């Protein structure tokens, strides 16, 4: 606690006394002074060796080495699921159960939690900010370690003074007395940074800090980050935006499938070298023979837009997306997290939050879909990403889950047709080869793959024309994935028009007849057949790289 006060140069207390197992740096070494000289020696402050971590049998990190020097910005890159978050969370003490050794300034440490890591000078800023919206910036910075008057009353004047001084020294122009809820998202991010530094952080881990920021907010953030690096803070930085990484980082480490594949100074690297390091793996399965997309499109989407208003203000999540899907065709939607992929599906299904614009037609007929009920009526089905929360009633039987969208169709005069419902469930279980003891088995007791089959099956029972799949193989083991792929191919062969959203590149390439690539809500290209390669998709999907790809949408 004392450490925080020293950073701010207030008059309380003497030198800091860390309680962590690490020797602390000299008090006040983090006096953030933009005019100060850059540290002359780039000493290694953090060093991880052979770090491995697995979650419930799935290996997230395998034998990863990582080192971080003071005063450097070290970018951590990788596809979704490559292990970036896991590594960062281990370093920050969020995950305490791992294999391997972490040293800070040469001393081996094993954090017992986030507080422990903070005491050792490691702070993490999560993608989702951890601020209390109803408190002021100053109160947030000193949350949980407020200075007290006579040990009882919170010393507000001192909080405000100290916070203002800290913000000023960081070159951040934010009134410390404003409520965080009133601050823009970029400003909130800066408050988080100030909070981390007030903890005497010498190692700052930033998880996708720019994902929600506007360009000018990003610039401010970069300025602060560079300034911190000059002051000797070591920064681990992740971002999906290549241009940003190239501009900001000194070194880059690329993870792929939980392994480290590259660590190198950024100067000698090209963007494409980073991309191929990220995606460089072979696609195991052969693609199917392309479906016949001849004839009129089943689903046709024109100039789809989606606007939302939240506390962050007005945002356009979809900026004019247009595509057609024919009978028996599988359209893959690629892009990074938050690029608007899921929003496309939700908009078509009529359940997106916000205002939707554009035209949707089913079988050539203009369709007005404003609710899931409308979508069902028109033969559009959505298998949601989070099947436990949104797709299935997990504590209920297979029969009830499969029949749910069809209860109305199987009834007459509002009286349920139990025999028809059971027939549907039996049919689905047989058709999709769901491994279960019977249709009365509780869904929660099924394996992930079989749960997903039930989630797809409940829609097949409604005989849809258009099937929208959001991350159809999330949380499913490899063998079951193949089954789901075969299932999707089979459905396409049966004539369904299918749209698949997936974060996994091999899956996208494997499943799709054509690939629609999204970047920041904009459709950056539609690739078909041989055009669709990992590099091409990545180039269109990465912000800062777009505009150079082929087929840029209007």
Q: Kindly state whether residue 411 participates in binding other proteins, applying the rule CB under 8 A.
A: yes
Which one among 414, 430, 479, 554 touches other proteins, defined by CB under 8 A?
A: 414
How do 99-104 and 73-77 pair as beta strands?
Answer: unpaired
How do 203-207 and 234-238 pair as beta strands?
Answer: parallel
Q: Kindly state whether residue 377 participates in binding other proteins, applying the rule CB under 8 A.
A: yes
Select from 76-84, 354-362, 378-386, 476-484 the region that touches other proteins (CB under 8 A): 378-386
Q: How far is the CB of 418 from other proteins (least distance, A)?
A: 8
Q: Kindly state whether residue 370 participates in binding other proteins, applying the rule CB under 8 A.
A: no
Taking the C-alpha atoms of residue 540 and residue 59, their distance in angstroms, rounded to an integer, is: 29
Beta bridge partners of 66: 48
Determine the distance from the C-alpha atom of residue 140 to the mean position of all C-alpha atoms in its chain, rounded to a whole number: 25
| Sign (positive or negative) of CA dihedral 510, 77, 473, 492 | negative
Of residues 174 and 369, the one with the C-beta less far from other proteins: 369
Of residues 331 and 382, the one with the C-beta less far from other proteins: 382
Of residues 1 and 407, the one with the C-beta less far from other proteins: 407
Q: Which helix (H) or strand (E) holds 312?
A: none
E strands, 95-220, where? Answer: 99-104, 107-109, 122-125, 148-149, 153-154, 203-207
Mask of contacts with other proteins, 342-361, x by CB under 8 A? -------x-x----------
Of residues 161 and 388, the one with the C-beta less far from other proteins: 388
Q: How far is the CB of 441 from other proteins (least distance, A)?
A: 8
Site size toward other proteins, by CB under 8 A? 50
For the record, the structure tokens of 243 come out as 């241009």
Which one among 35, 56, 294, 415 touches other proteins, defined by CB under 8 A?
A: 415
Of residues 285 and 395, the one with the C-beta less far from other proteins: 395
Which one among 291, 334, 464, 543 touches other proteins, defined by CB under 8 A?
A: 464
Q: Kindly state whether residue 413 participates in binding other proteins, applying the rule CB under 8 A.
A: yes
The half-sphere exposure of 276 on its side-chain side, counting CA atoms within 13 A, is 4
Q: How far is the CB of 489 from other proteins (least distance, A)?
A: 22
Q: How far is the CB of 172 from other proteins (least distance, A)?
A: 37
Q: How far is the CB of 488 from other proteins (least distance, A)?
A: 20
| Sign (positive or negative) of CA dihedral 136, 141, 144, 147 | negative
Which one among 165, 442, 536, 553 touches other proteins, defined by CB under 8 A?
A: 442
Taking the C-alpha atoms of residue 91 and residue 21, their distance in angstroms, rounded to an integer, is: 15
Taking the C-alpha atoms of residue 538 and residue 518, their distance in angstroms, rounded to an integer, is: 10
**Backbone angle region of 544, left / alpha / beta, with phi > 0 → left and psi within -120 to 50 → alpha:** left
Q: Kindly state whether residue 546 participates in binding other proteins, applying the rule CB under 8 A.
A: no
Q: Kindly state whether residue 156 participates in binding other proteins, applying the rule CB under 8 A.
A: no
Q: Kindly state whether residue 309 participates in binding other proteins, applying the rule CB under 8 A.
A: no
Which one among 90, 102, 122, 461 touches other proteins, defined by CB under 8 A?
A: 461
Give the 3-state secondary structure of residue 234.
Answer: strand
Taking the C-alpha atoms of residue 136 and residue 160, their distance in angstroms, rounded to an integer, is: 9
Taking the C-alpha atoms of residue 549 and residue 532, their distance in angstroms, rounded to an integer, is: 12
Binders of other proteins among 390-409, rule CB under 8 A?
Answer: 390-396, 400, 404-409
Q: Kindly state whether residue 412 participates in binding other proteins, applying the rule CB under 8 A.
A: yes
In eight-state DSSP terms, residue 397 is B
Collect all residues with Cβ–Cβ distance below 8 Å to 35 and sequence separation of at least 6: none
Q: How far is the CB of 417 from other proteins (least distance, A)?
A: 6
Write down how long the chain is: 554
Q: Kindly state whether residue 372 participates in binding other proteins, applying the rule CB under 8 A.
A: yes
| Sign (positive or negative) of CA dihedral 505, 508, 514, 519 | negative
Q: At what angle do helices 448-460 and 478-493 cross, to 10 degrees?
A: 20
Which one among 24, 140, 384, 451 touches other proteins, defined by CB under 8 A?
A: 384
How do 99-104 and 44-55 pair as beta strands?
Answer: antiparallel
Task: Tell which residue, 503, 430, 416, has the closest CA to residue 461.
Answer: 430
Of residues 66 and 349, the one with the C-beta less far from other proteins: 349
Q: How far is the CB of 297 from other proteins (least distance, A)?
A: 20
Which chain residues interact with other proteins by CB under 8 A?
349, 351, 371-373, 375-379, 382, 384, 389-396, 400, 404-417, 420-421, 423-424, 427, 440-442, 444-445, 458, 461-464
């Amino acid at each position: 606690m004392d450490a925080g006060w020293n950073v701010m140069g207030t008059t309380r207390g003497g030198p800091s006394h860390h309680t962590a197992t690490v020797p602390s740096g000299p008090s006040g070494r983090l006096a953030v002074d933009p005019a100060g000289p850059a540290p002359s020696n780039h000493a290694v402050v953090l060093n991880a060796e052979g770090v491995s971590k697995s979650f419930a049998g799935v290996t997230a990190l395998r034998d990863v080495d990582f080192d971080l020097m003071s005063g450097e910005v070290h970018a951590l890159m990788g596809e979704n699921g490559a292990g970036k978050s896991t590594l960062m969370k281990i370093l920050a003490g969020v995950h305490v159960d791992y294999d391997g050794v972490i040293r800070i300034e040469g001393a081996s440490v094993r954090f017992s939690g986030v507080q422990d890591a903070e005491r050792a000078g490691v702070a993490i800023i999560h993608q989702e900010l951890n601020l209390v919206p109803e408190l002021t910036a100053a109160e947030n910075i000193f949350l949980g370690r407020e200075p007290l008057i006579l040990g009882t009353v919170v010393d507000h004047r001192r909080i405000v003074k100290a916070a203002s001084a800290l913000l000023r020294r960081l070159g951040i122009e934010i009134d410390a007395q404003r409520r965080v809820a009133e601050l823009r998202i970029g400003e909130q991010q800066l408050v988080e940074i100030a909070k981390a530094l007030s903890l005497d952080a010498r190692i700052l881990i930033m998880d996708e800090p720019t994902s929600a920021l506007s360009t000018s907010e990003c610039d401010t953030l970069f300025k602060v980050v560079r300034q911190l690096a000059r002051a000797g803070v070591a920064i681990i930085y992740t971002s999906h935006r290549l241009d940003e990484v190239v501009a900001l980082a000194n070194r880059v480490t690329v993870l792929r499938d939980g392994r480290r594949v590259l660590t190198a100074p950024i100067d000698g690297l090209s963007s494409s070298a980073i991309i191929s390091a990220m995606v460089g793996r072979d696609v195991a399965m052969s693609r199917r023979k392309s479906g016949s997309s001849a004839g009129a499109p089943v689903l046709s989407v024109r100039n789809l837009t989606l606007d939302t208003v939240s506390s962050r203000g007005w945002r356009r999540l979809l900026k004019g997306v247009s595509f057609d899907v024919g009978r028996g065709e599988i359209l893959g939607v690629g892009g990074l997290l938050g690029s608007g992929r899921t929003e496309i599906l939700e908009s078509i299904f009529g359940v997106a939050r916000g205002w939707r614009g554009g035209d949707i037609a089913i079988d050539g007929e203009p369709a007005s879909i404003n609710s899931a009920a409308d979508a069902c009526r028109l033969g559009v089905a959505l298998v949601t990403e989070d099947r436990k929360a949104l797709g299935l009633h997990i504590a209920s039987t297979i029969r009830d889950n499969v029949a749910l969208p069809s209860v109305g169709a199987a009834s007459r005069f509002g009286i349920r047709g139990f025999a028809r419902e059971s027939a549907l469930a039996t049919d689905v279980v047989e058709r999709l080869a769901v491994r279960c003891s019977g249709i009365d088995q509780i869904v929660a007791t099924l394996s992930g793959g079989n749960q997903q089959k039930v989630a797809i099956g409940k829609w097949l029972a409604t005989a849809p024309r258009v099937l929208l799949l959001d991350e159809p193989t999330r949380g499913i083991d490899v063998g079951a994935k193949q089954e789901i792929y075969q299932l999707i191919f089979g459905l396409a062969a049966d004539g369904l028009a299918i749209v698949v959203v997936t974060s996994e590149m091999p899956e996208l390439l494997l499943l799709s007849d054509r690939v629609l690539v999204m970047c920041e809500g904009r459709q950056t290209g539609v690739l078909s057949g041989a055009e669709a390669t990992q590099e091409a998709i990545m180039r269109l999907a990465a912000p800062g790289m777009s505009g150079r790809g082929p087929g840029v949408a209007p």
